[in-house]
Structure 1
Amino acid sequence: MRISVNWLRELVDVTLAPEELAETLTIAGLEVEEIEDRRQLADGVVIGKIVERQPHPNADKLSVCQVDIGQPTLLNIVCGAPNARADIYVPVATVNTYLPAVDLKIRPTKLRGVRSEGMICSLAELGLEKESAGIHIFSQENLKLGGDVRPLLGLDDVIIDISPTANRADALSMVGVAREVAALTGASLHLPKVAPISIPAGEGILSLKVADKQACPAYIGTVIEGVKIAASPEWLQRRLQAAGVRPINNVVDATNYILLEWGQPLHAFDRDRTQALAGGDSLTIGVRFARENESLKTLDGQTRSLKPQNLLITANDRPVALAGVMGGEETEVHSGTQNIILEAALFDPVATRRSSRAQSLRTESSARYERGVNQAELDIACHRAIALIVELAGGTPIAQTVADGRENTTSQPIQLRLARIHQVLGAVKRDNAIGQIEAEDVERILTDLGCQLELASTKDKVWTVTVPPYRCRDLEREIDLIEEVARLFGYDRFIDKLPDKTEPGGLSFEDRAQRQLREAFRAVGLTEVVQYSLVKPEKDEVVLANPLFVEYSALRTNLLDGLIDAFEYNQSQGNGALNAFEIGRIFSRSEDGVQEADSIAGILGGDLISEGRWSRSGKPAPMTWYEAKGILESVFDRLGLAVEYQPDRKDDRLHPGRTASLWLGGKRLGTFGQLHPQLRQKRGLLDAVYGFEMSCSVLLGALAREDLQTPHFRPYSTYPALERDLAFFAPVKVSVVELEMAMKKAAGGLLDKVELFDEYRGENVPDGQRSLAFSLAYRASDRTLTDAEVEPVHNKIREALVERFNVSLRS
């Protein structure tokens, strides 16, 4: 919001210099982005009068002007403007004047052999327009020659560009900023006086039909006949230009002026064009959401395909404007307009934001509606606009139709406790001393903000505070009022002192455990990735009510899908296989609503040997299931976790014969397996890609064991192991894990290690079975074992395998 200091001083008696005012606003929370001193644009430019104009002797397009600037001698200035002539008042840049808009310093010179002692300026050279067809000619008569041109051009002003936070909708208007400055400085307010206008009801002339009262709580349509479209007076044009708004004509400029002054967007329709477009004898202005296959050509010249979230203004059900965003080109006010319909309305912030975003169109109007305009001052802004249009363009208001569904704009009283203020804000500086904010300070600050205070408890200093309508969206709770007290008292007056007692910080168990997990996965060569939690909805995802884009409109239910996409993208970019993991939040629906959980997932593929492929003639070898499982096993070994693998076929993204569910301490940890061949072929992935996904809560629960949190030393044996091999035929359905667990249970404490070193299926192996060979190491911590001690234990293992799994022993 660009704030004109001159305009602001008309609304509030502020005497601060622009720099001091900017600092005051910034400290109070209205951040100042830039201070633009427009006085520098025409410093040294004076009022002159062309006394005589003669053609240049050596150039057809130049002229030689004798210019009077109130000095004893006339200036001889060579000018190239086609509109230069005698007896006109013009802005003259004298010698040594610097024009920052065109980066030019005026010096005496010769142009085609004729001396020139200055420059007659256009508005572009003074920074008021982008392009100018000729020099500027003042319309006023009998101006003081040699006088400063800046007051005439509105260049005796300073612009303060502020960036209010989203909760401060009131700061997007001159009146709102004036109220803020008055509260900060204690200056008096002089808001524009708005007299109520009596206008006949629009029955038979204009009807209203609001389909959604929530999307449009109030709509005022006023018919004004007999207006004369012309250029706005210079004071209005200069004021709009200072605010960064392009002047158009007196009617449109009047609506833009009220937008800047009161923060209330308005729109003017050409009544005759609207009637012709609507057809029929009567005219009904409607407010509804767009239907399928509707379109509208907006004021920016674009034909827009309307979407269901677009809120429309209609004429006899035909779209004529995007409500709260932009009007339509077919009904715009033009040079031949004689009758208008003035719209003053309230539109729901959420509906306006969705409509604006659906068309990728954001305007000054939508920016204000999105934050919420002041409902209580809609009528004031409407009457002010009507009076200004009648003053500038003539015309007579003949009818007004109102559809008002506004609820009571008076906010609920808020209880404010002085003790709570002291508890939240603490000590402050008061006259070179340290103290507390007093009750008088609270009453003064909130009264200056327009609040009404009633003392509910004299002893404890508790007030009942009624917030003014223009701040009711911002001030809703006690803590909001405390923030206002702190803001206006001055953040720079608070004590910056650390607490007397401090304790060393530390990480929680969850943070330490997650760091341990990350370290373990990085240690086996995986790269950590971080992806968006928002995805495109495909299955049963939790869909956002107000998404930014369709592609990011749902919450992810797993991490593996995103890793598969990342693997595919890296491979398509020629980066090879992506061996990566991610720790992140996933979301799901349940009977209790949306559930959140932390998950860890990874993806593996490609050739583990990046160098030394010469031994394979340079050909890469796909990763095997056992190599991928070995990487995962290395992580579990590093963390000290014993994870069990069981066959699993539930995940349709994974190969049904090469997928295992992971179990830890009797709880399901997750899933590990090879990507399904159909998925791999559809995505164009490498021959063998593996993925896993595990529950962080189960992992963290296991890592919370005391023996893992505080490692204990276990003495190792200094005596050699005695090894035995064991080979047998076992049913395919029996897993190796089950066999290993049975061996360890049967052997007791002497069996130190079990390792599978061979598997064979094929010739000489019975159908439905496989040949397995294990290496068993026996060891004692206090002696070297003998064959006599080991043999009974080894036979016990053999018998247990035959009895439980019906294996056929081969050794």
Structure 2
Amino acid sequence: MDYSLNNLNKVSNLKELTLREFINSLNLIGLEVDEISQEKESNKFILENINCLIKIPANRQDLSLETYFLQEIVLIFFLELLNIWNRFQKKYLFLLKKKYLQTSHYKTIVINSSFSKILTYAVEITDFKNFSSPIWIQKKLKNFKITSNNNIQDIFNLVIAEWGYEFNIIIPNSFTEQKKYVFERLTKIESFYEENGKIQKLLPGTIVIREDNQKIISVLGFVNSTFPNFNSSNYLIEICFYEIETNPLFISLVNPKTALKNFRKIFLENLKFSLQRLLSLIEILEYGKLKPIKYFTKNQEFSIDSKKILFLEKKNFKNFLNIEKIDEKIFQKAGLKLICKTQKLYFFQIPNSRKDLEREIDLIEEYSRYIGYKNFTEILPKKQRTFYPEKTKQIFLMKDFFLIHGFHEVINNSMQDFSSNTLSSLFLLNPLNKELSNLRFSLLPKLIDVFSTNFRLSLIENNFFEIGRVFKKENEQIQEETKVSGIFQYPFLNNQKDSSLEWFSAFGIIESFLLKFGYQNYLKQDSVSFEFFHPTRSILIKNNKKILGYFGQLHPTFEINSFSKRPIYIFELNLSYLKYSNFYSPINVYKEFSKYPTIIKDLSFSIDKTVEFEKIRLLIQTNCLYLKNIYFLIFFLIKKIINLLMLEFV
């Protein structure tokens, strides 16, 4: 919207509001001022108009109408709206009453309707004369960036800019008092002929007005606001309202983009005022006379919706905005009427024009707009200790173990191909495709595929593990277990040749893993019937009838064995028996070492065989202060006994 500050000065009391304050206040609440321009007043070279191009938020389409925009400006700056017409209305009340009494003799023709949510009103203009529009209307349209046509269409554009309603202009050669008019929903595709000769194809579901159940004369959702021609002396002005926001009748509009954009700006409480404004200007400016016949839908169920009541908890100001003290003047500034308040709650009456206020959080956002988003204090998260459940700690320990031993973690989809099903597989009732049709019964198939793909691409020993859930059906019951599986080649860090001890070295990794969870004594059973394991080089690990898991070489039928020069080992362990409470970690005892290095000396002595070794030990220890130990290594006999001593000094 492009609006003039000079015009605002005329309709409201801006006091001494500066341009900078005006722009900053609008920007603060989300009405962004994109552009500022200056222009000279015509015939007044001293005065200048300062125009502000204001960007209206998408949720405030009501602000594109002058009526609601001025109300918003008044609320923001606590100004006084100068309703000049209300002041003159009291002085000319006797003339207005005389005019109102004339309409009491109007003949009414009811447009029959079986729909309870549509309102239509039509009035005919006779003796139409096409005069030039007044200068004040042309200026006001220029203020809205609307090009003036210098005819009666300027009045229609003015009312649309002020109140939002668009009027359907029809040549009333079809409307007569003898015909019957009815609202109807189309059940098939039909053609509608516009006054300018164009043809509209109407889809099923469109609501139209028919005359005598034959010709379509008006369509809901189609607005022809331009005069077909100026040769006719009579025109019918039709105004229609339908609550497009809720669309209770699920109608299909002729031009959805145009219709939705226009209908969303229409509010039921303005229907009366917009029609009064239009008809008053037509009569005052003598464009024509009103024929004393009115057409409308007479439906008792249709009425103005009651204004919404929303409540707001006071504690949420602290939770969302970090505000302790609430300024109730801001509610008034935002146009929210506070009708009740308790110790914990606020109750607000929301006008029908505010379609964007539906929830409690919308009220909080509206309050925050008027404070200014940059003026809030930060809400920092509180520092608190994080406590992990036992199962999470268990998984963390397992991941650390395998990562330290050179494995890479893999996360695969829990769904598998239809071709890999078994008797215990669980199938989905409505799968997306065959590749994702049943739940996996083991982690090993996807791990073997990952290992094969990586091995073919890089020819490097990539060792993988995965922790996840498996599913199977046993004895008509569904069982779900969490397991850890892996696939690897041994050794990890060198290229030693194959040996008979390699299998035991590879199993040593699993032994170290089980030892962490307190399993020192367990039974290793040779017979394994699991399809992925080698029939003679695999074992079943058991502990007191509990199957801890499986370990062994990959079955020779897999193609990857032909590419690899070294054996491929796989394992699968059940996490149900590897509990965090059984986790064992030996305590490392700290031992302080000497600052000086140890000195060890080898000494040889020739002594008589009658000398005792213990006397030699005592003699040396009493004469050497820094001697730590004495070791007698060897002695032998030639003529006399010769002893070899090793002395350790500290």
Q: TM-score, normalised by structure 1?
A: 0.47
Residue ranges of structure 1 left out of the alignment (5+ in a row): 48-146, 428-435, 514-635, 671-697, 724-737, 759-772, 782-811
Match of 1:720 in 2: 499
The counterpart of 1:387, out of the listed 265, 275, 280, is 280
CA contact (8 A) 2:67 2:163 kept: yes
Aligned to 2:294: 400
- Aligned pairs for 1:608-687 (under 5 A) are 639=411, 647=419, 664-665=440-441
* Residue aligning to 2:368: 486
How far off is 1:447 after superposition? 3.2
Q: What stretches of structure 1 move > 6 A for 4+ residues in a row?
A: 352-357, 640-645, 648-651, 658-662, 666-670, 711-718, 773-781
For 2:54, which of 158, 162, 169 is the aligned residue?
Answer: 162
Alpha-carbon offset, residue 353 of structure 1: 13
What's 1:304 paired with? Answer: 200
| 1:767 match | none
The residue number in structure 2 matching 1:420 is 316
In 1, Cα distance between equivalents of 2:350 and 2:67 = 17
Query: Which letter does structure 2 place at the counterpart of 1:275?
Result: N
Match of 1:339 among 219, 234, 247: 234
> 1:209–1:36: structure 2 CA closer, same or farther, 3 Å change rule?
farther
Deviation at 1:180, TM superposition (A): 0.8
Contact 2:534–2:556 (8 Å) recurs in 1: no
Alpha-carbon displacement from aligned partner over 1:535-589 (angstroms, at most 9, x marks no partner): xxxxxxxxxxxxxxxxxxxxxxxxxxxxxxxxxxxxxxxxxxxxxxxxxxxxxxx
| CA spacing shift, 1:257–1:775, aligned 2, 3 Å | closer
Structure 1 counterpart SS, 2:146: coil
1:128-147 deviation line (CA, Å, top 9, x unaligned): xxxxxxxxxxxxxxxxxxx5
2:310, 2:348 within 8 Å by CA — same for their partners in 1? yes
Letter in 1 for 2:28: I
**One-letter amino acid matched to 1:29:** G
Offset at residue 174 of structure 1 (A): 0.8
Bigger Rg over Cα: 2
Correspondence 1:244-255 to 2 at 5 A: 244-248=145-149, 250-255=151-156
Counterpart residue identity of residue 380, structure 1: F
Q: How does 1:711-750 map to 2 (within 5 A)?
A: 719-720=498-499, 740-741=531-532, 744=535, 748=539
Could you list the per-position Cα deviations for residues 589-646 of structure 1 after superposition, in whole angstroms to 9, with x for gaps in the alignment? xxxxxxxxxxxxxxxxxxxxxxxxxxxxxxxxxxxxxxxxxxxxxxx99658999866
Corresponding position of 1:318: 215
1:266 to 138, 156, 166: 166
Q: 1:367 aligns with which of 226, 248, 261?
A: 261
Tell me the amino acid that sits aligned with residue 269 of structure 1: I
Distance 1:314 1:504, change over 3 A: farther
Mapped to 2, the partners of 1:779 and 1:414 lie a distance apart of: 68
How far apart are 1:479 and its partner, in Å?
A: 3.1
Structure 2 letter corresponding to 1:466: Q
Q: Describe the shift of the 1:18–1:284 C-alpha distance in structure 2 as closer, same or farther (beyond 3 A).
A: farther
CA–CA distance in structure 1, aligned partners of residues 2 and 68 of structure 2? 13
Does the CA contact (< 8 Å) of 1:647 and 1:660 recur in 2? no
Structure 1 CA distance for aligned equivalents of residues 160 and 225 of structure 2: 19
1:173 partnered with 2:70: no
Q: In the TM superposition, what is the alpha-carbon distance from 1:243 to its structure 2 partner?
A: 1.7
The corresponding residue for 1:465 is 348
Q: Which amino acid aligns with 2:12?
A: V
Separation in 2 of the partners of 1:346 and 1:660?
51
Matched residues in 2 for 1:722 and 1:708: separation?
A: 23
CA displacement at 1:465 relative to structure 2: 2.4
Task: Structure 2 unaligned segments of length 5 or more: list them.
Answer: 90-95, 396-407, 422-426, 447-465, 472-480, 503-528, 541-550, 571-650
- What residue is the counterpart of 1:292 in the other structure? 188
> Of 377, 392, 401, which aligns to 2:270?
377
Deviation at 1:266, TM superposition (A): 2.8
Partner in structure 2 of residue 523 of structure 1: none
**Judging changes above 3 Å, is the alpha-carbon distance between structure 1 residues 668 and 376 closer, same or farther for their aligned structure 2 residues?**
farther
Q: CA distance change for structure 1 residues 448 and 660 in 2, over 3 Å: closer, same or farther?
A: closer
Whether the aligned pair in 2 keeps the contact of 1:12 and 1:190 (CA below 8 Å) is yes
Alpha-carbon contact 2:311-2:347 (below 8 Å) kept = yes
Given the superposition, is the C-alpha separation of residues 229 and 645 from structure 1 closer, same or farther in structure 2, using an over 3 Å criterion? closer
CA shift at 1:164, angstroms? 2.8
- Residue 541 of structure 1 is matched in structure 2 by none
Q: Distance in 2 between matches of 1:757 and 1:384?
A: 87
Q: 1:756 aligns with which of 553, 557, 579?
A: 557
- Judging changes above 3 Å, is the alpha-carbon distance between structure 1 residues 341 and 643 closer, same or farther for their aligned structure 2 residues? closer
Matched, 1:220 2:112: no
For 2:552 and 2:25, how far apart are their aligned partners in 1? 80
Aligned-pair CA distance for 1:299: 7.7
- Matching residue of 1:275: 173
Kindly indicate whether the alpha-carbon contact (under 8 Å) linking 1:452 and 1:466 is maintained by their aligned counterparts in 2.
yes
- The amino acid that maps onto 1:236 is I
> Is this contact kept in 1: 2:211–2:217, CA < 8 A?
yes
Q: Does the 8 Å contact 2:443/2:485 carry over to 1?
A: no
Question: Aligned Cα RMSD in Å?
Answer: 5.4
Deviations 1:441-495 (A, max 9, x none): 31x23334454434443xx264432223333x33344333333222223334323
Pairwise mapping of residues 83-98 of structure 1 onto structure 2 (< 5 A)? none
Higher relative contact order (CA 8 A, sep 6+): 2
SS in 2 for 1:390: helix
Q: Give distance in 2, aligned partners of 1:668 and 1:342.
A: 77
The alpha carbon displacement at 1:186 in A equals 0.6
| CA distance 1:491–1:295, change in 2 (3 Å) | same
Residue 387 of structure 1: how far off its partner (Å): 0.8
Residue deviations 1:320-351, cap 9 Å, x none?
A: 4553442288xx35323433333233222255
The equivalent of 1:447 in structure 2 is 332
Aligned residue in 2 for 1:552: none
SS in 2 for 1:382: helix
8 Å CA contact 1:199–1:400 kept in 2: the answer is no
Which whole-Å deviations, capped at 9, do the CAs of 1:641-698 have from their partners, x for residues lacking one? Answer: 99986638999xx9x9x9896652269999xxxxxxxxxxxxxxxxxxxxxxxxxxx9
Distance verdict in 2 for CA 1:667–1:176, change over 3 Å: farther
Letter in 1 for 2:332: T
Q: Is the 8 A contact 1:225 1:340 kept in 2?
A: yes
CA 445–300 in structure 1, closer or farther in 2 if over 3 Å, else same: farther
Aligned to 1:557: none
Per-residue CA deviations over 1:284-308 (Å, capped at 9, x if unaligned) read: 5655444533233558875332223
Aligned pairs, how many? 462
- Inter-partner Cα distance in structure 2 for 1:662 and 1:183: 62
Structure 2 CA distance for aligned equivalents of residues 489 and 452 of structure 1: 18
Percent identity, aligned pairs only, is 18
Counterpart CA distance in 2 for 1:314 and 1:6 is 48
Instruction: Describe the shift of the 1:410–1:774 C-alpha distance in structure 2 as closer, same or farther (beyond 3 A).
Output: closer
Structure 1 pair 706/294, CA: closer, same or farther in 2 (3 Å)?
A: same
Asked if 1:348 is matched to 2:243, the reply is yes
- Paired residue type of 1:395: K
CA distance in structure 1 between the partners assigned to 2:108 and 2:413 by the alignment: 82
Provide the residue aligned with 2:510 in structure 1.
none
Q: 1:6 to 1:303 in 2, by over 3 A?
A: farther
Partners of 2:553 and 2:568 within 8 A in 1:
yes
Kindly report which structure 2 residues correspond to 1:696-707, keeping only aligned pairs within 5 A, or say none.
701=469, 707=484
Following TM superposition, by how much is the alpha carbon of 1:700 offset from its aligned partner in structure 2, in angstroms? 6.5
Question: Is the 1:721–1:777 contact (alpha carbons within 8 Å) kept by the matching residues of 2?
Answer: no
**What is the deviation of 1:394?**
4.0
- Structure 2 residue matching 1:209: 3-state secondary structure: coil
In structure 2, distance between residues paired with 1:667 and 1:198:
88
